[in-house]
């Protein structure tokens, strides 16, 4: 093939590749939910035998599912999948609605009704994210509580039947993070399941025994091989965008979440919910 003929072929191939990439990042990957399994115990802490802890953050429920991805039907299917896995405890680290109080989001009560179908014998626990505060923090907490979901804003409760505490740290990006207050009622040396929305609170929280989880970053939504997340919201380092994070003898898992924000794209960063067991 002559050089003159090769140029149109190369251009056509480039166009096809770009179209395929656009379809993948906008249509396929944002809706391709992973159900990951991660270890609950680690070298410094042994979890109660058989305990299963599910975590699902950044739902971003919306009436504009083509743009924001997570419709009520889609969320209901994820709820069914989590329930089918039979977790003992469920942690919901915030951002339940998309947007900031505009027409694209469901009502707070409709959102809570969908998530209220989550079931776990040891309870379902939540903290509020920045989007929840932008909509209406107190109303969101009230709606979730009415559905049987325990909202822990800088608070802690003992897990029924275990010497294990569930701790919720408030959202850093909206000025609600108080790690010391959240852990104040936990006995010295007690094991904990700690959740927060913005992972930056991990930098200032005391060292604890147990599991620490966070959301908010969406893993950057786009992860470039060899570089990582392009953009990470909030004050957390870019290296804290996703997965297991180690810092000053502590470890935390940051989830990629279920929904999207700003743009309806994901690349090399699937949405997920996680089972720690």
CATH code for the domain of 241? 3.60.21.40
Residue 6 falls within a domain, yes or no? no
- The CB density around residue 1, as the number of other CB atoms within 10 Å, is 6
Q: What's the whole-number average pLDDT of the chain?
A: 92
Residue 21 falls within a domain, yes or no? no
The pLDDT value recorded for residue 1 is 55
154 token code pair: 């800088």
119 token code pair: 């079931």
Q: Name the residue among 73, 153, 60 with its Cα closest to residue 102.
A: 60
Residue 209 falls within a domain, yes or no? yes
List the domain range (segments joined by +) for residue 169.
Answer: 32-276
Query: By the 8 A CB rule, do 15 and 241 touch?
Result: no
Q: What is the Cα–Cα distance from 274 to 252, expressed in whole angstroms? A: 13
Q: Which residues contact 239 (CB under 8 A, 6 or more apart)?
A: 228, 245
Residue tagged 């091989």 (tokens): 225
Residue 7 falls within a domain, yes or no? no
pLDDT tens digits, residue range 87-105? 999 999 999 999 887 655 6
* Total count of domains within the chain: 1
Report percent pLDDT > 70 for the chain: 95
202: alpha, beta or left? (left if phi > 0; alpha if psi -120 to 50): alpha
Q: What is the Cα–Cα distance from 52 to 31, expressed in whole angstroms? A: 25
pLDDT tens digits, residue range 217-252? 999 999 999 999 988 888 999 999 999 999 988 999
Residue 25 falls within a domain, yes or no? no
Is residue 116 over pLDDT 60?
Answer: yes
Residue 202 falls within a domain, yes or no? yes
Residue 271 falls within a domain, yes or no? yes
pLDDT tens digits, residue range 134-177? 999 999 999 999 999 999 999 999 998 889 999 999 999 999 99
**pLDDT: is 29 or 78 the higher one?**
78
Residue 11 falls within a domain, yes or no? no
């Amino acid at each position: 093939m002559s050089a003159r003929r090769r140029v149109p072929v190369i251009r056509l191939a480039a166009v096809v590749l770009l179209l395929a990439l656009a379809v993948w990042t906008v249509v396929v990957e944002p809706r391709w939910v992973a159900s990951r399994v991660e270890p609950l115990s680690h070298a410094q802490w042994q979890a109660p035998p058989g305990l299963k802890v599910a975590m699902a953050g950044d739902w971003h429920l919306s009436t504009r599912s083509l743009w924001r991805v997570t419709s009520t039907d889609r969320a209901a299917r994820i709820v069914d999948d989590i329930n089918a896995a039979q977790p003992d405890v469920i942690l919901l680290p915030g951002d339940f609605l998309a947007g900031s109080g505009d027409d694209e989001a469901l009502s707070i009560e409709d959102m809570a009704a969908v998530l209220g179908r989550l079931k776990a014998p040891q309870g379902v626990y939540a903290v509020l994210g920045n989007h929840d505060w932008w909509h209406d923090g107190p109303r969101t907490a009230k709606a979730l509580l009415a559905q049987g979901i325990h909202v822990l804003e800088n608070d802690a409760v003992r897990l029924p039947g275990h010497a294990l505490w569930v701790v919720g740290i408030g959202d850093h990006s909206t000025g609600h993070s108080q790690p010391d207050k959240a852990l104040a009622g936990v006995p010295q040396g007690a094991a904990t399941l700690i959740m927060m929305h913005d992972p930056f609170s991990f930098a200032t929280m005391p060292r604890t025994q147990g599991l620490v989880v966070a959301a908010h970053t969406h893993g950057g939504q786009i992860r470039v091989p060899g570089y990582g997340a392009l953009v990470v919201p909030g004050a957390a380092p870019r290296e804290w965008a996703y997965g297991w994070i180690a810092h000053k003898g502590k470890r935390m898992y940051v989830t990629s979440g279920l929904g999207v924000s700003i743009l309806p794209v994901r690349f090399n960063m699937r949405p997920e919910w996680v089972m720690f067991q």
